[in-house]
Amino acid sequence: MSIDCLFCKIIAGEIPAKMFYEDDLLIAFADIDPQAPHHFLIVPRKHICTALDLTPEDNELIGHVYQVAGKIARDLGIDEDGFRVVNNCNEAGGQTVWHIHFHFLAGRNLTWPPG
């Protein structure tokens, strides 16, 4: 846990969130400012600041993120329609919270490229 990290506080239960999925490695909760009918943040429990801070020991964790994204999509019944998983890295990449997370977006026709 990193003091003053918003997502570490959510993981520790110190700040409430609308939890959707939890396991030993990560949690998934509703984004407070949803950009699609389904917008969850998939957040590893381990405090990793950005995608640039990943090491080979995190490979299994990141694979697991995508396994959970698929489970969420199937549980919501939108797997065949489609969904998007995206990580924003550093300021120009749109990152605003420095604890690695993956946006899960679904429920509308998502456009490309993003803004």
Catalytic residues: 101
Q: Cβ–Cβ contacts within 10 Å for residue 97, how many?
A: 14
8 Å CB contact between 72 and 40: yes
Residue 115 interacts with ligand AMP (CB under 6 A)? no
Q: Which has the closest alpha carbon to 40: 8, 83, 3, 95?
A: 83
From CA 80, how far away is CA 20, in angstroms rounded?
20
Residue 95 interacts with ligand AMP (CB under 6 A)? yes
Q: Which segments within 1-115 are labelled E, that is strand?
A: 19-22, 26-30, 38-44, 83-86, 102-106
Give the one residue of 2, 59, 67, 90 binding Zn ion; rule: CB under 5 A.
2
CA quadruple 83, 15, 7, 64: dihedral, nearest 10: -50
The site map against ligand AMP for 10-29 (x = CB under 6 A) is -----x-x------------
Residue 4 interacts with ligand AMP (CB under 6 A)? no
Residue 80 interacts with ligand AMP (CB under 6 A)? no
Residue 43 interacts with ligand AMP (CB under 6 A)? no
27/80 with CB nearer ligand AMP: 27
Residue 8 interacts with Zn ion (CB under 5 A)? yes
DSSP H or E run through 56: none
| Cβ at position 17, least distance to Zn ion in Å | 13
Residue 2 binding target from ligand AMP, Zn ion, none, CB below 5 to 8 Å by type: Zn ion
